[in-house]
Amino acid sequence: MTDTTWINGLQTASLDPRDRGLQYGDGLFETIAVFGGHPQCIEDHLDRLQHSAARLKFPDLDMAGLEAEIQRAAGNLEKAVLKLILTRGESARGYRPPEQPEPTRIIMTSSWPLWPGEYYLDGVRSRVCDQRLAIQPALAGMKHLNRLEQVLARAEWDDPGIAEGVMLDTEDRLVCGTMSNLYLLSGSDLLTPSLARCGVKGVMRKQVQKAAATLGLQWHESDLRMEDALNADEMYFSNALIGLWPVRELDEHRYTRVDGGKRLIATLAAQGVRQCDVS
Amino acid sequence: MTDTTWINGLQTASLDPRDRGLQYGDGLFETIAVFGGHPQCIEDHLDRLQHSAARLKFPDLDMAGLEAEIQRAAGNLEKAVLKLILTRGESARGYRPPEQPEPTRIIMTSSWPLWPGEYYLDGVRSRVCDQRLAIQPALAGMKHLNRLEQVLARAEWDDPGIAEGVMLDTEDRLVCGTMSNLYLLSGSDLLTPSLARCGVKGVMRKQVQKAAATLGLQWHESDLRMEDALNADEMYFSNALIGLWPVRELDEHRYTRVDGGKRLIATLAAQGVRQCDVS
Protein backbone atom coordinates (compact mmCIF):
# COMPACT_ATOMS: atom_id res chain seq x y z
CA MET A 1 0.00 0.00 0.00
CA THR A 2 1.52 3.29 -1.08
CA ASP A 3 0.75 6.88 -0.09
CA THR A 4 1.15 6.32 3.59
CA THR A 5 2.80 8.75 6.02
CA TRP A 6 4.48 8.14 9.34
CA ILE A 7 5.69 10.85 11.70
CA ASN A 8 8.06 9.81 14.47
CA GLY A 9 7.03 6.21 13.99
CA LEU A 10 3.27 6.78 14.07
CA GLN A 11 1.07 6.49 11.02
CA THR A 12 -0.31 10.02 10.76
CA ALA A 13 -0.34 12.84 8.25
CA SER A 14 -0.52 15.58 10.86
CA LEU A 15 2.54 17.76 11.28
CA ASP A 16 2.66 20.74 13.63
CA PRO A 17 3.31 23.77 11.39
CA ARG A 18 5.70 25.09 14.07
CA ASP A 19 8.12 22.41 12.92
CA ARG A 20 11.34 24.05 11.70
CA GLY A 21 11.18 21.94 8.56
CA LEU A 22 8.28 24.12 7.41
CA GLN A 23 9.33 27.36 9.13
CA TYR A 24 12.85 27.52 7.67
CA GLY A 25 13.44 24.43 5.55
CA ASP A 26 15.61 23.37 8.49
CA GLY A 27 16.01 19.75 7.54
CA LEU A 28 17.11 17.09 5.08
CA PHE A 29 15.54 14.43 2.93
CA GLU A 30 16.28 11.16 1.16
CA THR A 31 14.32 9.73 -1.74
CA ILE A 32 14.70 5.98 -1.75
CA ALA A 33 13.70 3.34 -4.31
CA VAL A 34 11.96 0.32 -2.80
CA PHE A 35 11.95 -3.03 -4.62
CA GLY A 36 10.49 -6.21 -3.19
CA GLY A 37 10.25 -4.69 0.26
CA HIS A 38 13.89 -3.62 0.26
CA PRO A 39 15.00 0.03 0.35
CA GLN A 40 17.76 0.28 -2.27
CA CYS A 41 21.19 1.63 -1.29
CA ILE A 42 19.90 2.16 2.24
CA GLU A 43 23.41 2.37 3.74
CA ASP A 44 24.41 5.13 1.33
CA HIS A 45 21.21 7.06 1.98
CA LEU A 46 21.64 6.84 5.75
CA ASP A 47 25.32 7.69 5.46
CA ARG A 48 24.59 10.87 3.52
CA LEU A 49 21.80 11.79 5.92
CA GLN A 50 24.04 11.32 8.95
CA HIS A 51 26.89 13.36 7.49
CA SER A 52 24.57 16.16 6.38
CA ALA A 53 22.83 16.22 9.77
CA ALA A 54 26.23 16.65 11.41
CA ARG A 55 27.03 19.54 9.07
CA LEU A 56 23.74 21.19 10.09
CA LYS A 57 24.66 20.54 13.76
CA PHE A 58 21.71 18.27 14.43
CA PRO A 59 22.12 16.11 17.55
CA ASP A 60 23.44 12.58 17.05
CA LEU A 61 20.84 10.48 15.32
CA ASP A 62 19.61 7.03 16.28
CA MET A 63 20.62 5.54 12.93
CA ALA A 64 19.55 1.99 13.82
CA GLY A 65 16.12 3.22 14.87
CA LEU A 66 15.81 5.26 11.69
CA GLU A 67 16.77 2.29 9.53
CA ALA A 68 14.26 0.11 11.35
CA GLU A 69 11.50 2.63 10.64
CA ILE A 70 12.46 2.75 6.97
CA GLN A 71 12.58 -1.05 6.73
CA ARG A 72 9.18 -1.30 8.39
CA ALA A 73 7.62 1.22 6.01
CA ALA A 74 9.21 -0.49 2.99
CA GLY A 75 8.44 -4.05 4.13
CA ASN A 76 5.23 -4.65 2.19
CA LEU A 77 5.96 -2.51 -0.85
CA GLU A 78 6.76 -4.28 -4.10
CA LYS A 79 7.94 -1.25 -6.08
CA ALA A 80 7.56 2.21 -4.61
CA VAL A 81 9.17 5.48 -3.62
CA LEU A 82 9.98 6.08 0.03
CA LYS A 83 10.83 9.62 1.05
CA LEU A 84 12.37 10.34 4.43
CA ILE A 85 12.36 13.89 5.76
CA LEU A 86 14.36 14.70 8.87
CA THR A 87 13.83 18.15 10.38
CA ARG A 88 15.34 19.88 13.42
CA GLY A 89 11.93 19.55 15.06
CA GLU A 90 9.89 22.23 16.79
CA SER A 91 11.26 25.27 18.55
CA ALA A 92 10.32 28.66 19.86
CA ARG A 93 9.98 31.41 17.25
CA GLY A 94 13.23 32.57 15.62
CA TYR A 95 16.09 31.18 13.56
CA ARG A 96 18.10 30.08 16.57
CA PRO A 97 18.10 26.28 16.85
CA PRO A 98 16.88 24.95 20.20
CA GLU A 99 19.58 23.84 22.63
CA GLN A 100 18.31 20.28 22.61
CA PRO A 101 16.55 19.72 19.31
CA GLU A 102 14.28 16.73 18.95
CA PRO A 103 14.37 16.00 15.22
CA THR A 104 11.15 15.06 13.47
CA ARG A 105 11.22 11.93 11.30
CA ILE A 106 8.72 11.84 8.46
CA ILE A 107 8.42 8.84 6.14
CA MET A 108 6.15 9.01 3.11
CA THR A 109 5.58 6.30 0.55
CA SER A 110 4.32 6.89 -2.97
CA SER A 111 3.65 4.86 -6.08
CA TRP A 112 6.52 4.22 -8.48
CA PRO A 113 6.66 6.73 -11.36
CA LEU A 114 6.06 5.28 -14.81
CA TRP A 115 8.84 6.36 -17.14
CA PRO A 116 8.89 5.26 -20.77
CA GLY A 117 11.31 2.39 -21.44
CA GLU A 118 12.77 4.45 -24.30
CA TYR A 119 14.30 6.80 -21.74
CA TYR A 120 16.81 4.04 -21.01
CA LEU A 121 17.15 2.67 -24.53
CA ASP A 122 17.14 5.79 -26.71
CA GLY A 123 17.82 8.56 -24.20
CA VAL A 124 15.77 11.54 -23.05
CA ARG A 125 15.16 15.03 -24.30
CA SER A 126 16.45 17.75 -22.01
CA ARG A 127 16.91 21.49 -21.85
CA VAL A 128 19.13 24.06 -20.18
CA CYS A 129 17.28 25.95 -17.43
CA ASP A 130 17.40 29.72 -17.05
CA GLN A 131 17.28 29.41 -13.27
CA ARG A 132 20.80 29.30 -11.85
CA LEU A 133 22.12 27.67 -8.69
CA ALA A 134 23.65 29.98 -6.09
CA ILE A 135 27.14 29.26 -4.86
CA GLN A 136 26.92 28.21 -1.21
CA PRO A 137 29.65 25.83 -0.05
CA ALA A 138 28.03 25.57 3.42
CA LEU A 139 25.06 23.73 1.89
CA ALA A 140 26.68 22.10 -1.14
CA GLY A 141 26.30 18.35 -1.55
CA MET A 142 23.45 18.02 0.96
CA LYS A 143 19.89 17.07 0.14
CA HIS A 144 18.39 19.76 2.36
CA LEU A 145 14.88 21.20 2.35
CA ASN A 146 15.76 24.58 0.76
CA ARG A 147 14.76 23.68 -2.79
CA LEU A 148 13.21 26.81 -4.30
CA GLU A 149 15.88 26.95 -7.00
CA GLN A 150 14.88 23.47 -8.19
CA VAL A 151 11.18 24.34 -8.02
CA LEU A 152 11.70 27.47 -10.14
CA ALA A 153 13.87 25.56 -12.62
CA ARG A 154 11.33 22.75 -12.98
CA ALA A 155 8.53 25.31 -13.44
CA GLU A 156 10.20 26.56 -16.62
CA TRP A 157 8.80 23.87 -18.90
CA ASP A 158 5.50 22.10 -19.48
CA ASP A 159 6.45 19.91 -22.43
CA PRO A 160 5.98 16.33 -21.15
CA GLY A 161 8.52 15.22 -23.76
CA ILE A 162 11.30 16.95 -21.84
CA ALA A 163 12.42 14.67 -19.06
CA GLU A 164 14.97 16.79 -17.25
CA GLY A 165 16.60 20.22 -17.21
CA VAL A 166 20.29 21.04 -16.86
CA MET A 167 21.27 23.61 -14.24
CA LEU A 168 24.29 25.92 -14.25
CA ASP A 169 25.57 27.89 -11.28
CA THR A 170 25.58 31.69 -11.19
CA GLU A 171 29.12 31.60 -12.62
CA ASP A 172 28.19 29.50 -15.68
CA ARG A 173 29.46 26.13 -14.51
CA LEU A 174 27.48 22.98 -15.25
CA VAL A 175 26.23 21.51 -11.96
CA CYS A 176 23.39 19.00 -12.27
CA GLY A 177 19.87 18.32 -13.44
CA THR A 178 16.92 19.73 -11.50
CA MET A 179 16.55 16.35 -9.76
CA SER A 180 19.65 14.49 -10.85
CA ASN A 181 23.42 14.37 -11.18
CA LEU A 182 24.97 14.83 -14.58
CA TYR A 183 27.78 13.11 -16.50
CA LEU A 184 29.66 13.59 -19.74
CA LEU A 185 31.38 10.77 -21.60
CA SER A 186 34.38 11.88 -23.62
CA GLY A 187 36.37 8.98 -25.01
CA SER A 188 37.06 6.81 -21.99
CA ASP A 189 36.69 9.72 -19.55
CA LEU A 190 33.53 10.06 -17.48
CA LEU A 191 33.31 13.68 -16.36
CA THR A 192 30.98 14.92 -13.65
CA PRO A 193 30.70 18.41 -12.13
CA SER A 194 32.37 19.19 -8.83
CA LEU A 195 29.73 19.60 -6.11
CA ALA A 196 31.86 21.75 -3.82
CA ARG A 197 29.87 24.95 -4.42
CA CYS A 198 26.29 23.73 -4.95
CA GLY A 199 24.34 20.70 -6.07
CA VAL A 200 23.40 17.47 -4.33
CA LYS A 201 25.76 14.52 -4.02
CA GLY A 202 23.40 11.81 -5.20
CA VAL A 203 23.38 8.27 -3.88
CA MET A 204 23.17 6.91 -7.44
CA ARG A 205 26.26 8.96 -8.33
CA LYS A 206 28.33 6.60 -6.18
CA GLN A 207 26.84 3.63 -8.07
CA VAL A 208 27.68 5.30 -11.38
CA GLN A 209 31.26 5.82 -10.21
CA LYS A 210 31.47 2.11 -9.36
CA ALA A 211 30.01 1.13 -12.73
CA ALA A 212 32.47 3.44 -14.49
CA ALA A 213 35.36 1.69 -12.77
CA THR A 214 34.00 -1.70 -13.86
CA LEU A 215 33.88 -0.46 -17.44
CA GLY A 216 37.41 0.96 -17.32
CA LEU A 217 36.24 4.57 -17.59
CA GLN A 218 38.32 7.30 -15.93
CA TRP A 219 36.27 9.24 -13.36
CA HIS A 220 36.84 13.01 -13.16
CA GLU A 221 35.13 15.49 -10.84
CA SER A 222 35.88 18.96 -12.11
CA ASP A 223 34.53 22.33 -13.19
CA LEU A 224 32.62 21.90 -16.44
CA ARG A 225 31.01 24.38 -18.82
CA MET A 226 28.31 24.19 -21.46
CA GLU A 227 30.95 23.80 -24.18
CA ASP A 228 32.11 20.61 -22.43
CA ALA A 229 28.57 19.28 -22.63
CA LEU A 230 28.30 20.15 -26.32
CA ASN A 231 31.70 18.60 -27.10
CA ALA A 232 31.05 15.38 -25.19
CA ASP A 233 30.28 12.07 -26.92
CA GLU A 234 27.42 11.30 -24.57
CA MET A 235 25.60 12.80 -21.62
CA TYR A 236 23.64 11.18 -18.75
CA PHE A 237 21.47 11.98 -15.76
CA SER A 238 21.27 9.83 -12.65
CA ASN A 239 19.29 9.77 -9.44
CA ALA A 240 18.14 7.24 -6.87
CA LEU A 241 14.85 6.64 -8.66
CA ILE A 242 15.66 6.81 -12.36
CA GLY A 243 18.99 5.03 -12.14
CA LEU A 244 20.60 6.43 -15.29
CA TRP A 245 19.18 8.07 -18.39
CA PRO A 246 21.26 8.84 -21.47
CA VAL A 247 20.48 12.18 -23.10
CA ARG A 248 19.62 12.31 -26.77
CA GLU A 249 18.75 16.00 -27.04
CA LEU A 250 19.90 19.03 -25.07
CA ASP A 251 17.87 21.92 -26.50
CA GLU A 252 18.95 22.02 -30.16
CA HIS A 253 21.99 19.79 -29.65
CA ARG A 254 21.72 16.10 -30.51
CA TYR A 255 23.83 13.33 -29.02
CA THR A 256 24.14 10.70 -31.73
CA ARG A 257 25.35 7.92 -29.45
CA VAL A 258 23.99 6.31 -26.30
CA ASP A 259 26.30 3.23 -26.41
CA GLY A 260 28.30 4.18 -23.34
CA GLY A 261 25.06 4.94 -21.52
CA LYS A 262 23.68 1.51 -22.35
CA ARG A 263 26.83 -0.12 -20.99
CA LEU A 264 26.55 1.93 -17.78
CA ILE A 265 22.87 1.00 -17.43
CA ALA A 266 23.66 -2.71 -17.87
CA THR A 267 26.48 -2.46 -15.33
CA LEU A 268 24.26 -0.64 -12.84
CA ALA A 269 21.65 -3.36 -13.29
CA ALA A 270 24.34 -5.95 -12.56
CA GLN A 271 25.17 -4.01 -9.38
CA GLY A 272 21.58 -4.49 -8.23
CA VAL A 273 20.10 -1.19 -9.41
CA ARG A 274 16.78 -2.79 -10.35
CA GLN A 275 15.35 0.19 -12.25
CA CYS A 276 18.24 -0.20 -14.72
CA ASP A 277 17.22 -3.77 -15.52
CA VAL A 278 15.58 -2.77 -18.80
CA SER A 279 17.13 -5.20 -21.25
CA MET B 1 -4.68 34.36 23.71
CA THR B 2 -1.41 33.70 21.94
CA ASP B 3 0.10 30.49 20.54
CA THR B 4 -2.84 29.67 18.33
CA THR B 5 -2.59 28.24 14.81
CA TRP B 6 -5.02 28.45 11.92
CA ILE B 7 -4.66 26.59 8.64
CA ASN B 8 -6.82 27.76 5.74
CA GLY B 9 -9.10 29.57 8.16
CA LEU B 10 -9.59 26.70 10.60
CA GLN B 11 -8.07 26.60 14.04
CA THR B 12 -5.85 23.53 13.82
CA ALA B 13 -2.18 22.68 14.17
CA SER B 14 -2.29 19.78 11.74
CA LEU B 15 -0.47 20.25 8.45
CA ASP B 16 -0.16 17.51 5.84
CA PRO B 17 3.58 16.86 5.48
CA ARG B 18 3.05 16.55 1.71
CA ASP B 19 2.64 20.31 1.67
CA ARG B 20 5.30 21.85 -0.57
CA GLY B 21 6.14 24.33 2.17
CA LEU B 22 7.75 21.46 4.07
CA GLN B 23 8.89 19.42 1.07
CA TYR B 24 10.82 22.19 -0.67
CA GLY B 25 10.43 25.40 1.34
CA ASP B 26 8.10 26.36 -1.52
CA GLY B 27 6.47 29.33 0.16
CA LEU B 28 6.71 32.71 1.82
CA PHE B 29 6.15 34.23 5.23
CA GLU B 30 5.43 37.49 6.98
CA THR B 31 6.14 38.25 10.62
CA ILE B 32 3.74 40.91 11.82
CA ALA B 33 3.62 42.95 15.03
CA VAL B 34 0.17 43.15 16.60
CA PHE B 35 -0.75 46.01 18.96
CA GLY B 36 -4.19 46.53 20.42
CA GLY B 37 -5.72 44.04 18.02
CA HIS B 38 -4.21 45.76 14.98
CA PRO B 39 -1.63 44.11 12.70
CA GLN B 40 1.03 46.79 12.14
CA CYS B 41 1.96 47.82 8.57
CA ILE B 42 -0.51 45.25 7.26
CA GLU B 43 -0.67 46.85 3.80
CA ASP B 44 3.10 46.68 3.41
CA HIS B 45 3.21 43.06 4.58
CA LEU B 46 0.45 42.03 2.18
CA ASP B 47 2.02 44.01 -0.63
CA ARG B 48 5.37 42.25 -0.24
CA LEU B 49 3.63 38.88 0.03
CA GLN B 50 1.63 39.49 -3.14
CA HIS B 51 4.65 40.63 -5.14
CA SER B 52 6.78 37.73 -3.93
CA ALA B 53 4.02 35.22 -4.66
CA ALA B 54 3.85 36.56 -8.21
CA ARG B 55 7.64 36.14 -8.56
CA LEU B 56 7.27 32.50 -7.43
CA LYS B 57 4.41 32.11 -9.95
CA PHE B 58 1.77 31.35 -7.34
CA PRO B 59 -1.80 31.78 -8.61
CA ASP B 60 -3.48 35.12 -7.88
CA LEU B 61 -4.20 35.42 -4.18
CA ASP B 62 -7.44 36.46 -2.52
CA MET B 63 -5.80 39.40 -0.75
CA ALA B 64 -9.01 40.62 0.90
CA GLY B 65 -9.70 37.16 2.29
CA LEU B 66 -6.14 36.88 3.55
CA GLU B 67 -6.33 40.25 5.26
CA ALA B 68 -9.64 39.30 6.86
CA GLU B 69 -8.07 36.13 8.28
CA ILE B 70 -5.15 38.12 9.68
CA GLN B 71 -7.45 40.74 11.19
CA ARG B 72 -9.57 38.00 12.77
CA ALA B 73 -6.51 36.28 14.28
CA ALA B 74 -5.13 39.59 15.55
CA GLY B 75 -8.45 40.93 16.81
CA ASN B 76 -8.19 39.95 20.47
CA LEU B 77 -4.42 40.24 20.89
CA GLU B 78 -3.09 43.18 22.88
CA LYS B 79 0.60 42.78 21.98
CA ALA B 80 1.74 39.73 20.08
CA VAL B 81 3.54 38.31 17.06
CA LEU B 82 1.50 37.04 14.14
CA LYS B 83 3.28 34.93 11.57
CA LEU B 84 1.68 34.17 8.24
CA ILE B 85 3.07 31.36 6.08
CA LEU B 86 1.81 30.96 2.55
CA THR B 87 2.89 27.80 0.70
CA ARG B 88 2.19 26.51 -2.80
CA GLY B 89 0.04 23.82 -1.16
CA GLU B 90 0.12 20.09 -1.75
CA SER B 91 1.17 18.35 -4.93
CA ALA B 92 2.26 15.06 -6.34
CA ARG B 93 5.89 14.08 -5.67
CA GLY B 94 8.54 16.11 -7.49
CA TYR B 95 9.72 19.70 -7.83
CA ARG B 96 7.26 20.54 -10.57
CA PRO B 97 4.56 22.87 -9.27
CA PRO B 98 1.01 21.63 -9.81
CA GLU B 99 -0.87 23.18 -12.70
CA GLN B 100 -3.50 24.63 -10.41
CA PRO B 101 -1.89 25.10 -7.01
CA GLU B 102 -4.11 25.68 -4.01
CA PRO B 103 -1.89 27.66 -1.65
CA THR B 104 -1.96 26.83 2.04
CA ARG B 105 -2.44 29.72 4.47
CA ILE B 106 -1.02 29.23 7.95
CA ILE B 107 -1.40 31.85 10.67
CA MET B 108 0.39 31.43 13.98
CA THR B 109 0.30 33.80 16.92
CA SER B 110 2.96 33.95 19.63
CA SER B 111 3.69 36.02 22.70
CA TRP B 112 5.62 39.25 22.26
CA PRO B 113 9.37 38.86 22.83
CA LEU B 114 10.76 40.74 25.83
CA TRP B 115 13.76 42.77 24.74
CA PRO B 116 15.66 44.93 27.23
CA GLY B 117 14.76 48.62 27.00
CA GLU B 118 18.50 49.39 26.81
CA TYR B 119 18.56 47.90 23.31
CA TYR B 120 16.76 51.03 22.15
CA LEU B 121 18.46 53.52 24.47
CA ASP B 122 22.10 52.35 24.53
CA GLY B 123 22.27 50.05 21.52
CA VAL B 124 22.96 46.32 21.16
CA ARG B 125 26.04 44.15 20.96
CA SER B 126 26.47 42.36 17.65
CA ARG B 127 28.93 40.21 15.76
CA VAL B 128 29.91 39.38 12.21
CA CYS B 129 28.77 35.87 11.22
CA ASP B 130 31.04 33.38 9.45
CA GLN B 131 28.08 32.04 7.47
CA ARG B 132 27.76 33.89 4.17
CA LEU B 133 24.71 34.57 2.04
CA ALA B 134 24.70 33.08 -1.45
CA ILE B 135 24.10 35.37 -4.40
CA GLN B 136 20.74 34.48 -5.92
CA PRO B 137 18.93 37.36 -7.64
CA ALA B 138 15.91 35.11 -8.37
CA LEU B 139 15.14 34.93 -4.65
CA ALA B 140 16.60 38.23 -3.43
CA GLY B 141 14.34 40.55 -1.45
CA MET B 142 11.67 37.91 -0.74
CA LYS B 143 10.84 36.47 2.67
CA HIS B 144 10.72 32.89 1.42
CA LEU B 145 10.90 29.67 3.38
CA ASN B 146 14.46 28.69 2.37
CA ARG B 147 16.21 30.00 5.46
CA LEU B 148 19.01 27.54 6.24
CA GLU B 149 21.64 30.26 5.83
CA GLN B 150 20.00 32.30 8.58
CA VAL B 151 19.62 29.23 10.80
CA LEU B 152 23.33 28.37 10.44
CA ALA B 153 24.32 32.00 11.06
CA ARG B 154 22.18 32.28 14.18
CA ALA B 155 23.58 28.97 15.46
CA GLU B 156 27.06 30.50 15.60
CA TRP B 157 26.62 32.19 18.97
CA ASP B 158 25.13 31.34 22.36
CA ASP B 159 26.00 34.55 24.23
CA PRO B 160 22.62 36.04 25.23
CA GLY B 161 24.31 39.45 25.35
CA ILE B 162 24.70 39.43 21.58
CA ALA B 163 21.42 40.55 20.05
CA GLU B 164 22.08 40.17 16.34
CA GLY B 165 24.69 39.04 13.81
CA VAL B 166 25.79 40.80 10.63
CA MET B 167 25.81 38.77 7.42
CA LEU B 168 28.01 39.29 4.38
CA ASP B 169 27.47 37.73 0.98
CA THR B 170 29.92 35.26 -0.57
CA GLU B 171 31.66 38.21 -2.25
CA ASP B 172 32.26 40.12 1.01
CA ARG B 173 29.47 42.68 0.72
CA LEU B 174 27.48 43.67 3.79
CA VAL B 175 23.88 42.52 3.37
CA CYS B 176 21.81 42.38 6.56
CA GLY B 177 21.45 40.94 10.04
CA THR B 178 20.33 37.33 10.49
CA MET B 179 16.78 38.60 11.08
CA SER B 180 17.00 42.27 10.19
CA ASN B 181 17.98 44.94 7.72
CA LEU B 182 21.07 47.00 8.38
CA TYR B 183 21.93 50.71 8.13
CA LEU B 184 25.00 52.89 8.48
CA LEU B 185 24.83 56.55 9.40
CA SER B 186 27.68 58.61 7.98
CA GLY B 187 27.20 62.34 8.49
CA SER B 188 23.74 63.00 7.11
CA ASP B 189 23.83 59.95 4.81
CA LEU B 190 21.87 56.84 5.76
CA LEU B 191 23.41 53.93 3.86
CA THR B 192 21.76 50.54 3.49
CA PRO B 193 22.92 47.52 1.46
CA SER B 194 21.44 46.85 -1.95
CA LEU B 195 19.17 43.78 -1.78
CA ALA B 196 19.42 42.91 -5.48
CA ARG B 197 21.53 39.77 -4.94
CA CYS B 198 20.32 38.40 -1.59
CA GLY B 199 18.70 39.49 1.66
CA VAL B 200 15.10 40.28 2.58
CA LYS B 201 13.44 43.62 1.85
CA GLY B 202 11.99 44.26 5.29
CA VAL B 203 8.69 45.99 5.89
CA MET B 204 10.29 48.11 8.64
CA ARG B 205 12.98 49.20 6.14
CA LYS B 206 10.33 51.24 4.35
CA GLN B 207 9.40 52.90 7.65
CA VAL B 208 13.07 53.66 8.30
CA GLN B 209 13.35 55.23 4.86
CA LYS B 210 10.34 57.41 5.66
CA ALA B 211 11.80 58.41 9.04
CA ALA B 212 15.13 59.24 7.40
CA ALA B 213 13.36 61.60 5.00
CA THR B 214 11.61 63.31 7.92
CA LEU B 215 14.99 63.83 9.60
CA GLY B 216 16.60 65.19 6.42
CA LEU B 217 18.93 62.20 6.02
CA GLN B 218 19.99 61.16 2.49
CA TRP B 219 18.97 57.57 1.75
CA HIS B 220 21.45 55.45 -0.26
CA GLU B 221 21.03 51.84 -1.33
CA SER B 222 24.41 50.60 -2.50
CA ASP B 223 27.11 47.95 -2.21
CA LEU B 224 28.75 48.23 1.21
CA ARG B 225 31.75 46.49 2.76
CA MET B 226 32.94 45.84 6.30
CA GLU B 227 35.19 48.91 6.13
CA ASP B 228 32.09 51.04 5.53
CA ALA B 229 30.58 49.64 8.71
CA LEU B 230 33.75 50.34 10.68
CA ASN B 231 34.04 53.87 9.30
CA ALA B 232 30.39 54.78 9.92
CA ASP B 233 29.28 57.06 12.76
CA GLU B 234 26.45 54.75 13.74
CA MET B 235 24.92 51.44 12.77
CA TYR B 236 21.37 50.09 13.17
CA PHE B 237 19.27 46.97 12.68
CA SER B 238 15.56 47.00 11.88
CA ASN B 239 12.78 44.50 11.49
CA ALA B 240 9.02 44.37 11.82
CA LEU B 241 9.18 43.28 15.45
CA ILE B 242 12.15 45.14 16.92
CA GLY B 243 11.52 48.40 15.10
CA LEU B 244 15.07 49.77 15.20
CA TRP B 245 18.07 48.99 17.37
CA PRO B 246 21.24 51.07 17.35
CA VAL B 247 24.46 49.03 17.55
CA ARG B 248 27.00 49.83 20.24
CA GLU B 249 29.44 46.98 19.58
CA LEU B 250 30.28 45.03 16.44
CA ASP B 251 32.75 42.38 17.60
CA GLU B 252 35.69 44.47 18.91
CA HIS B 253 34.51 47.69 17.29
CA ARG B 254 32.64 50.22 19.41
CA TYR B 255 30.21 52.81 18.12
CA THR B 256 30.48 55.76 20.47
CA ARG B 257 27.25 57.44 19.37
CA VAL B 258 23.63 56.37 19.17
CA ASP B 259 22.19 59.90 18.77
CA GLY B 260 21.06 59.42 15.18
CA GLY B 261 19.54 56.10 16.17
CA LYS B 262 17.56 57.72 18.97
CA ARG B 263 16.20 60.30 16.57
CA LEU B 264 15.19 57.57 14.12
CA ILE B 265 13.52 55.60 16.93
CA ALA B 266 11.56 58.67 18.06
CA THR B 267 10.53 59.39 14.46
CA LEU B 268 9.45 55.77 13.92
CA ALA B 269 7.39 55.99 17.12
CA ALA B 270 5.75 59.15 15.79
CA GLN B 271 4.94 57.22 12.58
CA GLY B 272 3.00 54.71 14.71
CA VAL B 273 5.70 52.05 15.15
CA ARG B 274 4.60 51.27 18.70
CA GLN B 275 7.61 49.15 19.66
CA CYS B 276 9.77 52.25 19.17
CA ASP B 277 7.75 54.18 21.74
CA VAL B 278 10.43 53.73 24.41
CA SER B 279 10.92 57.28 25.65
Quick one: A270 and A151 in the same domain? yes
Tens digits of residue pLDDT in A204-242:
999 999 999 999 999 999 999 999 999 999 999 999 999
Please report the pLDDT score of residue A164 as a whole number. 98
Q: CATH number for the domain including A164?
A: 3.20.10.10
Element (H, E) at B83: strand B79-87
Q: How far apart are the first and last CA of chain A?
A: 28
In a 10 Å sphere around its CB, with 0-12 CB exposed, 13-18 middle and 19+ buried, how is residue B4 labelled? middle
Tens digits of residue pLDDT in A67-96:
999 999 999 999 999 999 999 999 989 999
B100 touches chain A (CB under 8 A): no
**Chain B: closest CA distance from residue A155 (Å):** 6
The residue among A49, A77, A111 that closes a domain is A111
Quick one: B14 and B85 in the same domain? yes
Are B247 and B234 in contact, with CB atoms under 8 Å apart? yes
Quick one: B244 and B129 in the same domain? yes
Q: How far apart are alpha carbons B78 and B44 in whole angstroms?
A: 21
For residue B113, give every residue at least 6 positions away whose Cβ sits within 8 Å of its Cβ, in sequence order, or none: A93, B81, B241
Each residue's pLDDT tens digit in chain B (279 positions)? 578 999 999 999 999 999 999 999 999 999 999 999 999 999 999 999 999 999 999 999 999 999 999 999 999 999 999 999 999 999 989 999 999 999 999 999 999 998 999 999 999 999 999 999 999 999 999 999 999 999 999 999 999 999 999 999 999 999 999 999 999 999 999 999 999 999 999 999 999 999 999 999 999 999 999 999 999 999 999 999 999 999 999 999 999 999 999 999 999 999 999 999 987
Asked whether this complex has an ipTM greater than 0.95, the answer is: yes
B20 touches chain A (CB under 8 A): yes
- What is the DSSP track for B211-276? HHHHTTPEEEEE-B-HHHHHHSSEEEEEETTTEEEEEEEETTEE----HHHHHHHHHHHHTT-GGG
Q: Which of residues 219-278 of B touch A (CB under 8 A)?
A: none
The residue among B72, B92, B111 that closes a domain is B111
Q: State the pTM of this model.
A: 0.97
Please report the pLDDT score of residue A1 as a whole number. 54
B152 touches chain A (CB under 8 A): yes
Q: What is the mean pLDDT of residues A247-267?
A: 97
Cβ-Cβ contacts under 8 Å, A14 against chain B: 14-16
**Chain A: closest CA distance from residue B253 (Å):** 24
Quick one: A135 and A91 in the same domain? no
Quick one: B151 and B262 in the same domain? yes
For residue A36, is it left (φ>0), alpha (ψ between -120 and 50) or beta?
A: left
Q: Show the DSSP H helices in chain B as ranges.
A: 20-24, 42-55, 63-74, 118-121, 148-154, 203-214, 226-231, 259-270
Cβ separation of A97 and B155 shorter than 8 Å?
yes
DSSP A103: -
Quick one: A93 and A140 in the same domain? no
Q: Show the domain range for B21.
A: 5-111
Split into its structural domains, chain A has a count of: 2
Please report the pLDDT score of residue A247 as a whole number. 98
Quick one: A147 and A57 in the same domain? no
Quick one: B63 and B122 in the same domain? no
**Chain B: closest CA distance from residue A53 (Å):** 12
A147 touches chain B (CB under 8 A): yes
Of B16, B25, B93, the CB nearest to A145: B25
Q: How far apart are alpha carbons B36 and B9 in whole angstroms?
A: 21
Please report the pLDDT score of residue B1 as a whole number. 54
Tens digits of residue pLDDT in A131-158:
999 999 999 999 999 999 999 999 999 9
Are B181 and B200 in contact, with CB atoms under 8 Å apart? yes
Q: CATH number for the domain including A71?
A: 3.30.470.10
Quick one: A31 and A163 in the same domain? no
Quick one: B37 and B140 in the same domain? no
Cβ separation of B147 and A24 shorter than 8 Å?
yes
Of A5, A25, A81, the CB nearest to B146: A25
Quick one: A212 and A90 in the same domain? no
Cβ separation of B15 and A20 shorter than 8 Å?
no
Please report the pLDDT score of residue B31 as a whole number. 98
The residue among A83, A111, A139 that closes a domain is A111
Quick one: B96 and B229 in the same domain? no
Are A21 and A53 in contact, with CB atoms under 8 Å apart? no
